[in-house]
Structure 1
Amino acid sequence: MPESKPIRIWVDGCFDTMHYGHSNALRQAKEMGAYLVVGVHSDEEILKNKGPTVLKNKERYDAVRACKWVDEVVEDAPYLTSLEYLDKYNCDFCVHGDDVTTMSDGTDCYSVVKQAGRYKECKRTIGVSTTDLVKRMLMRKINPEGTRAECDHEYIQDKLEKFNDNKLPKDGDKVVYVDGSFDMFHAGHAEYLKQAKELGDFLIVGIQGDDLVRQIESTYPILNQEERALSVLACRYADAIILDSPHQLTDEFISKHNISIVVGADQSIINRTKAETKIIPNQDIGSKSIIARILADFEIYQERNRKKGEKAILEAEMLAKEKASLQ
């Protein structure tokens, strides 16, 4: 009896401000088969159908490539998902969240693959979206001293367990340690972790608690610690994480985790530990620059979010009608 070929899956999207909701969708999609191909739309296609992006082409392409569940990235994928692209990349079916995504004229982006019976759904991650993150950043301008509302910890804890591979270093592994806030995790963070991982065999990433981030940055993080941890765990270069990582890295801490080298972004790391250190400068893109982009075009993004709200209502109505027709 001939062996069945590995199932190949197609997922596409904008993946703007790549967040843990995107990663969770890719995780769920990968569980449906063996090989995950992800198509990422261009800035031009997104502007035409949805509005301006926060991150540009290469920043979004690189962020998706860094996700550990992704096997291949297709750049400049069409906004309307086509059978031609599924066939071109030898994909058996397409996966999307249980919401409706529409073209500029209001038609369903996945109508063609749905009609062909080559469409499956995964559960949308509650409490996070690019629109939500933009809203959080806009609120910084209105109320810089404001605080984030508490998330659903039970829901997030479930996702942490699903994201965590529970890896442990093997005997003889050179353990590398790096810490930070990793707020608004982006391609620059991924490149930073990649370079850190290249210094050894096993990379532990310390996630600073919200209070410590406020002390260091003099402001609150956009995402809380648990949300930030999810984004780090989704990165292919991170082997393990430590929550509420300390600012001062004591000999006891270094010994407990068998750390051989500590990585920092600047000279300040030397004052935080007596262990061997390595400086890897911050990459081109940073969380602060992403926030600055939003705040620089405050009115544009306010209008974008208003239109997104109207579109969300329309999409919910379309979804309700579609489900009613299937009953």
Structure 2
Amino acid sequence: MMHYGHANALRQAKEMGDYLVVGVHSDAEITKHKGVPVTLEEERYVAVEACKWVDEVVRGAPYVTQLDLLDEYGCDFCVHGDDLVTTADGDDTYAAVKNAGRFKECKRTPSVSTTELVGRMLLMTREHHEHTTEEMPESKRSRIGTFSSGADAKSPYTSVSHILPTSRRIVQFSNAKEPQAHEKVVYVDGTFDLFHAGHIEILRKAKEMGDFLLVGIHDDQTVNKIKGANFPIMNLHERALSVLACKYVDEVIIGAPYSVNQELLKGSFHISLVVHGKTTTEPDTNNADPYALPKELGIYQEVETRFSHLTTQTIIDRILDRRQLYEERNRKKQAKELAALAKLEA
């Protein structure tokens, strides 16, 4: 999964040089060394290519990085986080480039990893803002409590994040850009939970329809009320960083209103067009259509993309439908990391 932790690593890597080439592994390579991937190969390529700090993507890059690969793409050195990455056999995947002095390290972003996000979905609890089932409509109770217990509840990979990014981190991800008077401002809003290729393609299409793309992200409490007790999987700050890392996005409203209102449309950004995907739109808490006003004004447009079928629920269902497989994946990854650390300390 392409999350804000990856984006932060790519940001740091770009600061070390002038041109950033990013290798993305195939499904087969990931399955062999880490376990079944959550997002599919083409989805990951789209996600990495959309990151604002990436200049070029190598599709199907080998899991073990060798010197000839660096030379083929004209790379002076390789960058990775300060966490240990090993093959299925427990060997350091960057041993060759490290031995050649062509490896640099960036800081890993704490409290997030694909394994940890998978763990959140396996646990499926939002302790920091979960309603009781009695408070929820029947239609939104289907998964509540079903996946909130078991051995994995005590795993370090099944935690609820309380990340609070600093203003410095938000500035690092932001463009510090304002729309010019002549520019057409396009607005897209949503939850943007588990930021994926479906989100990215909507943002790309929306940016093509104007000059400046403004993205509204709903707060945790609003999402919780609209979508149900297990949502969002990622909190507001995590979701904001994920969206800010996308190269199609110019500015973000953190905690945007669920319904597009007059104050938003005529505010400092002077929105000309409101865009939404072909996915189903849940009504507001008062059962009103959140896009009633832009529809009435004739500035609302729905767009379809090649990933219109992909939603946050799709990602969650992939995990929950193969729950046992992913629980085993997390257990194996944890055991492999502990074994590798013991090997290094020996």
Which amino acid in the other structure matches residue 236 of structure 2?
Q
Q: Is structure 2 residue 138 aligned with structure 1 residue 138? A: no
Q: Quote the Cα distance in structure 2 between the aligned partners of 1:252 and 1:152.
A: 30
Query: Which of 235, 241, 247 matches 1:230?
Result: 241
What does 1:84-99 correspond to in 2, within 5 Å?
Answer: 84-99=68-83
**Paired position in structure 2 for 1:203:** 213
CA-CA distance at 1:253 after TM superposition: 1.7
CA-CA distance at 1:132 after TM superposition: 0.4
Is 303-312 or 264-273 further displaced after alignment?
A: 264-273
Query: Which of 160, 178, 181 matches 1:171?
Result: 181
Instruction: Quickly say closer, same or farther: Cα 1:111–1:241, change in 2 above 3 A.
Output: same
What does 1:45-60 correspond to in 2, within 5 Å?
Answer: 45-60=29-44
Query: Which of 292, 302, 308 matches 1:279?
Result: 302
Alignment deviations for residues 70-90 of structure 1 (CA, whole Å, 9 cap, x no partner): 111111111110111100000
**Paired position in structure 2 for 1:246:** 257
Instruction: Quickly say closer, same or farther: Cα 1:158–1:210, change in 2 above 3 A.
Output: same
TM-score (norm 2): 0.83
Instruction: Quickly say closer, same or farther: Cα 1:24–1:199, change in 2 above 3 A.
Output: same
**Paired position in structure 1 for 2:319:** 294
Q: Once the two structures are aligned, what percentage of the paired residues are identical?
A: 51
TM-score (norm 1): 0.88
CA-CA distance at 1:281 after TM superposition: 3.8
Q: Quote the Cα distance in structure 1 between the aligned partners of 2:163 and 2:168.
A: 10
CA-CA distance at 1:216 after TM superposition: 1.8
CA-CA distance at 1:223 after TM superposition: 0.1
**Paired position in structure 2 for 1:263:** 275
Residue aligned with 1:259, SS: coil
Is 134-143 or 260-269 further displaced after alignment?
A: 260-269
CA-CA distance at 1:143 after TM superposition: 2.4
Alignment deviations for residues 278-303 of structure 1 (CA, whole Å, 9 cap, x no partner): 11247131111010000000111111
Q: Quote the Cα distance in structure 2 between the aligned partners of 1:158 and 1:133.
A: 24
Q: Aligned-residue CA RMSD in angstroms?
A: 2.0
Q: Which runs of 5+ in 2 are unaligned?
A: 125-145, 282-288
**Paired position in structure 2 for 1:215:** 225
Alignment deviations for residues 198-217 of structure 1 (CA, whole Å, 9 cap, x no partner): 11000000000011111221
Q: Quote the Cα distance in structure 1 between the aligned partners of 2:175 and 2:118.
A: 30
Instruction: Quickly say closer, same or farther: Cα 1:294–1:307, change in 2 above 3 A.
Output: same
Which amino acid in the other structure matches residue 48 of structure 2?
V
> Does the 8 Å CA contact 1:164/1:233 hold for their aligned counterparts?
yes
Q: Quote the Cα distance in structure 2 between the aligned partners of 1:247 and 1:48.
A: 42
Q: Quote the Cα distance in structure 2 between the aligned partners of 1:40 and 1:152.
A: 27
Query: Which of 116, 122, 126 matches 2:106?
Result: 122
Q: Quote the Cα distance in structure 2 between the aligned partners of 1:77 and 1:150.
A: 31
Q: Which runs of 5+ in 1 are unaligned?
A: 1-16, 322-327
> Does the 8 Å CA contact 1:207/1:244 hold for their aligned counterparts?
yes
Q: Quote the Cα distance in structure 2 between the aligned partners of 1:143 and 1:101.
A: 30
Instruction: Quickly say closer, same or farther: Cα 1:114–1:68, change in 2 above 3 A.
Output: same
Residue aligned with 2:274, SS: strand
Which amino acid in the other structure matches residue 295 of structure 1?
L
Query: Which of 193, 198, 223 matches 1:183?
Result: 193
Alignment deviations for residues 166-222 of structure 1 (CA, whole Å, 9 cap, x no partner): 111112000000100000001111000000111100000000001111122123210
> Does the 8 Å CA contact 1:156/1:226 hold for their aligned counterparts?
no
Is 267-276 or 36-45 further displaced after alignment?
A: 267-276
Which amino acid in the other structure matches residue 122 of structure 1?
C
Instruction: Quickly say closer, same or farther: Cα 1:80–1:41, change in 2 above 3 A.
Output: same
CA-CA distance at 1:149 after TM superposition: 3.9
Q: Quote the Cα distance in structure 2 between the aligned partners of 1:129 and 1:271.
A: 38
State how many pairs are aligned: 303
**Paired position in structure 2 for 1:316:** 341
Which amino acid in the other structure matches residue 297 of structure 1?
R
Residue aligned with 2:238, SS: helix
Which amino acid in the other structure matches residue 312 of structure 1?
E
